[in-house]
Structure 1
Amino acid sequence: MSKLRTALVVGLIGEGIGASRTPAMHEAEGAAQGLDYEYKLIDTAGMVDVDLGVLLLELNDEGFRGINVTHPFKQKVLAHVAERADEVALVGASNTVLFTERGPRAHNTDYLGFLHAFRHELATAPRKRVLLLGAGGAGRAVGLALAEAGVGTLFIRDNNVDAAERLAADIRENFPWTVAEPVDAAGLAGLVPDGIVNATPVGMVSHPGMPVARDLLEPRPWVADIVYFPLETELLRTARERGCATMSGRGMAVMQAAKAFEIFSGKQADAGRMAETFDSFDAKGDRR
């Protein structure tokens, strides 16, 4: 590949991303806007000792306009960028990197994506007490978005205690109306939150299972999951069977992709059109 090529080339770096719907959303939107637009997957599953900095340099040299970043690189990528957009300073993670003449510039479209979906799909949901599962790159974006959406008390559960404590401290500093507290495994049993949000990879095809014990999913107002493949995770299916309202990862996936498209192309995305592409996949992840 050469920088002389005329196509706008972008991609996604992550582990176990073969079923991602993001390439189709980007390429269909690019075609609709008359762009020669290519979206490539760089799946690190099975790779040993991935050097993210070298990989970014190689993609830049090959003519990529930018790259999306997903698990497990959303925080690691910050060590390899020259500039950070304002929302990255807040979230402390990036899912979108634009290659510029000044060097890689980090953005975060997860934050806006989740906030938009939550406000539209769970607009009237009670939010006095919410349990967030995960304080990594995606978890930070989701936790801060929940605070902005007016959650009263946010309990944060992550095996990395330091990560949970850092997120709680950042929420208290930036959103003083939200009480943010880490919670350990033993503390989960006594919680009775209005809602639960999964911001871990557990539930993905490559990470099957549930991030919490089934007993925690007693009938409660709502449960949300940012995983979108499968669209109905085991967590959401179990929650629905127990009478909870549910929110899948669809809305966040579409909106974060739309904002990333705008960063890469400099053109406004049609989120509705990108949602139609997202919905064109069947339950197995194949295009209809």
Structure 2
Amino acid sequence: MAFNRPDYLRQTLLSIRGQEQVANGLREVHLFQDNGVNFVSSERYATDEEIATSVAVFQEIFPNGTVHLSEKNIGVALNFDRAERYVFIERRFPSAMFFEDDMVLGPHYIDTLQRMLDYAASPESFGRVGYVAAYGNHRASLVTQRAKQNTIVEMGHAWGYGVTREHWLKVREVIDPYIQIVSECDYRKRPKARIGGVHKSLGLATRALSQDAMKTIATAWLGRVRLMPFICQASYVGASGLNFTPEAYSKKGYGQEQIFPDRVCSFHWPDEARLIVMNDEERQTYKANCDEAYGHRNMPPPPAGSFFANAY
């Protein structure tokens, strides 16, 4: 997933190419490249040169990869949606991995993420696991990581994540009103009140109005959790971007990650009781957020959903 940061993109793509499964030709690699001029506002958010350079970087590193170049700037949410529709509806893959242009993977990232996906799709997850990632705790020392190398924790940001087709279809049906709203606007100018109406209709809310936040709420609403290993397996390099500044990047401790060097072949998977508790705790937090933000306010009703998972 890329936009106007070809220097970051190059680092990300090189780290993907270095993954064992990719190097051995066992993975397809696709670039979903957004464009510069917004399809609604006509505002330009990137130069033609930046877009062309991103495509060229991808084609240099993955000459057999596939480029999906958007005709106009559609924003983060719709760029993800078209990528997800491609892999899960057009291609019907059972699962997929999504990487943005600002995270450098450790040597075993995809191997670990596939283990997470296999767990999410297995009976061991009791149908209670949605999104998974493998970037882990970016502040933990190697000493701490070795002590917790088999530990599974709740996933934070949706960075370098994987998801099964089964979960995506369920989430996509829940978030369809949100997708309809952002399909009619410049994503950077998305209407807060209308999106708040979607949150209120679910009775759950986060502090953000992004597509990541919407998927997080939907996953909790479905009774599922998002998980990752504790070990740190990626370095976040996006000091400048839509949601970060160099000051915020430094304050949060990014760029100083100690990448866990070894392959971990087994994890201590949470049992069903633990998964239920994790979901309950998340829902209580998101319900409290919703009550605080929208409890006594009349929010715009969300659009009627028109995406039906059972049709796919």
- TM-score of the superposed pair, with normalisation by structure 1: 0.29
Question: Higher strand fraction: Structure 1 or Structure 2?
Answer: 1
From the two aligned structures, give the one with the greater helix fraction: 2
TM-score w.r.t. length of structure 2:
0.27
